[in-house]
Chain A
Amino acid sequence: MGFEKIIFYLFSALLIMSASMVITVRNPVKAALFLVLSFFACAVVWLLMEAEFLAIVLVLVYVGAVMVLFLFVVMMLDINIERLRAGFISYLPVGIVVALMMAGMLIWIVSGDGSAFNNSVTHNADYSNTRELGRVLYTDFLYSFEIAAVILLVAIIAAISLTLRRRPNTKHQKIENQIAVKRNERVRMVKMKAEEKK
Chain B
Amino acid sequence: MIEWITSVLSFLPSELVTVITILIKIVVIVLPLMIAVAYLTYAERKIIGAMQVRIGPNRVGFFGFRMFGLGQPIADALKLMLKEIVIPNNASKFLFLLAPLLLIGPALAAWAVIPFDAQLVLADINAGLLYVLAVTSIGVYGVIIAGWSSNSKYALLGAMRSAAQIVSYEIAMGFALVGVLMAAGSLNFGEIVRGQEGYGFASWYMWPLLPLFVVYFISGVAETNRAPFDVAEGESEIVAGFHVEYSGMPFAVFFLAEYANMILISGLASVMFLGGWLSPIAGLAPDSVFEIPLLGLLLGNGIHWFFAKMAVFLFFFLWLRATFPRYRYDQIMRLGWKVFIPITIFWLLVLGIAILAGLPPWFAAT
Contacts and interface: CB of A to CB of B under 8 A. Distances in A.
B137 A59 contact: yes
A179 to B, nearest CB: 11
Which residue, B18, B19, B130, B145, has most C-beta atoms of chain A within 10 A?
A: B130
A130 B144 contact: no
Interface string A12-41: 000000000000000001100100100000
Nearest to A3: B15
Interface in B64-113: 92, 95
Interface stretch (B156-164, B253-261, B268-276, B277-285): B156-164
Nearest to A43: B134
A3 B137 contact: no
Contact of A56 (B131, B167, B330): B131
Contacts of A71: 144, 148, 163
A60 B127 contact: no
B323 interface: no
Contacts of B330: 172-173
Contacts of A172: 330
Contact of A65 (B95, B125, B137, B148): B137
B10 interface: no
Contact of A75 (B19, B134, B148): B148
B334 A175 contact: yes
A65 B170 contact: yes
Contact of B127 (A56, A64, A69): A56
Given A3-B15, A59-B134, A64 B140 contact: yes
A64 B138 contact: yes
B141 interface: yes
Contacts of A29: 148
Nearest to A36: B141
B127 A52 contact: yes
Interface in B327-346: 330-331, 334
A64 B134 contact: yes
Contacts of B133: 60, 64
Interface string B118-141: 000000011100110111011011
Contact of A33 (B18, B95, B167, B331): B95
A65 B168 CA distance: 10
Contacts of A30: 92, 95
Contacts of B125: 52
Contacts of B131: 56
Contacts of A69: 167
A2 interface: yes
Nearest to A75: B148
A57 B137 CA distance: 11
B148 A129 contact: no
B227 interface: no
A3 B170 contact: no
Contacts of B187: 130
Contacts of B130: 53, 56-57, 60, 130
Interface string A55-97: 0110110011100110110011000000000000000000000
A53 B353 CA distance: 27
Given A53-B130, A57-B130, A64 B137 contact: yes
A85 B164 CA distance: 31
Interface string B1-33: 000000000000001001100000000000000
Interface string A125-150: 00011110000000000000000000
A59 B26 CA distance: 22
A60 B177 CA distance: 14
Interface in B139-197: 140-141, 144-145, 148, 156, 159-160, 163-164, 166-167, 170, 187
A64 B170 contact: yes
B15 A59 contact: no
Nearest to B187: A130
A173 B330 CA distance: 10
Contacts of A56: 127, 130-131, 134
A153 to B, nearest CB: 13
Contact of B138 (A59, A128, A129): A59
A52 B187 CA distance: 12
Nearest to B144: A71
B138 A63 contact: yes
Contacts of A175: 331, 334
A52 B148 contact: no
A56 B110 CA distance: 13
A68 B144 contact: yes
Given A60-B134, A64-B170, A175-B331, 16 more contacts: A2-B15, A3-B15, A29-B148, A53-B127, A57-B134, A59-B135, A59-B138, A60-B130, A64-B133, A65-B137, A68-B163, A68-B166, A69-B167, A72-B163, A75-B156, A128-B126
Sorted from nearest, which 6 A-B pairs have the closest CB atoms? A64-B137, A60-B134, A59-B134, A3-B15, A128-B126, A56-B130
Interface of B: 15, 18-19, 92, 95, 125-127, 130-131, 133-135, 137-138, 140-141, 144-145, 148, 156, 159-160, 163-164, 166-167, 170, 187, 330-331, 334
7 contacts: A3-B15, A30-B95, A59-B137, A64-B138, A130-B187, A173-B330, A175-B331
